[in-house]
Amino acid sequence: MTTSAEGPDHPASGNDPRQRPDAPGAPATPGARRYPPAPVSPPPPPVPTTRAELAALIDHTMLRPDATSDDILKTCSDAAKLGVAAVCVAPTHVYLAAASARLDGRMPPAGSPGAGGSGDGSRPAYAVASVVGFPHGNHLTAVKVDETQRAIADGATEIDMVIDIANAVDENWAAMETEIHQVRLAMPADAVLKVILETTLLPDATIRSACRAALAGGAEFVKTSTGFHPGGGASIRAVRAMHSAVGGRLGIKASGGIRTAAQALAFIQAGATRLGLSGTADVLAEMPRDPS
């Protein structure tokens, strides 16, 4: 186990195989990895002012273990009407959600202009995300790789993967990076990997180090929470730590316990670029209507 001063923020020293030589001119030792340097005061993302702008940042989520096919179809129908970025479902529901996304992309817009998908069949109405290693993260890496490959084959274009959380608690960055890298290799280049850190369990310095390990492993996003851990979901504290580490270089997804528009906007002001919500319609109803 490394000390609290080690990790991607502060490289370990000596012969530790987890060494991260970041200094210019450091010797290229076998197996050594380099983490990108910390950004300098990354600017926060723009804050949405309308329903459509906020909807475009939302993963509309249905991950209840008792969710039925009808629940998934309703989730997808709502996603098309609301204009969200993606739906996030369990692996068993990916095929149905992907088929619905393609159908919704062919349907004429419903309701207000621009709602209900692209309407021309050129692309699905929303992306489909699947969770991997969910919700505890302590699956074997080979199992996560297999889950990923199956989800991609069923139509997912985004993967929300739970890390082996013990690796972050233990500050075992080599193991964490390797696991993320193996999952990323199982995905097409244009797919999106989001890495769930379960930040409620981690202090800020560990969150920052974990974010940089995710960056080095090839992820496109870091994500706060599964929403299923008893310790809690997203926090402004965690998002700020994530933004300070990788803002502008990785997307940041806040998920777990976001139930109002005020909360959603606060997370974006802190640095989030994507939000995971189940009560999407209620949150969007609190936003100003889009210009006609």
Which residues are catalytically annotated? Answer: 160, 223, 253
**Spatial separation of the C-alpha atoms in residues 196 and 135, rounded to whole Å:** 9
Enter the tokens of residue 152: 């991609």
Query: Encoding tokens for residue 100?
Result: 């619905």
21, 31 in Cβ contact below 8 A? Answer: no
Cβ neighbour number for residue 188 with a 10 Å cutoff: 8
DSSP string, 111-144: SSTT-SS-SSSSS-SSEEEEEESTTT--S-HHHH
Residue 128 token pair: 């489909």
For residue 230, is the peptide bond before it cis, meaning its omega torsion is within 30 degrees of 0? no
- The DSSP secondary-structure symbol of 92 reads G
- Cα-based angle 89, 92, 97 (whole degrees, multiple of 5): 50
d(CA 37, CA 63): 35
3-class state of residue 255 by DSSP: strand
Question: Please, are residues 128 and 90 in contact by the beta-carbon 8 Å criterion?
Answer: no
- The rounded Cα 266 to chain-centroid distance in angstroms is 18
Residue 268 CA to residue 3 CA, distance in Å, equals 32
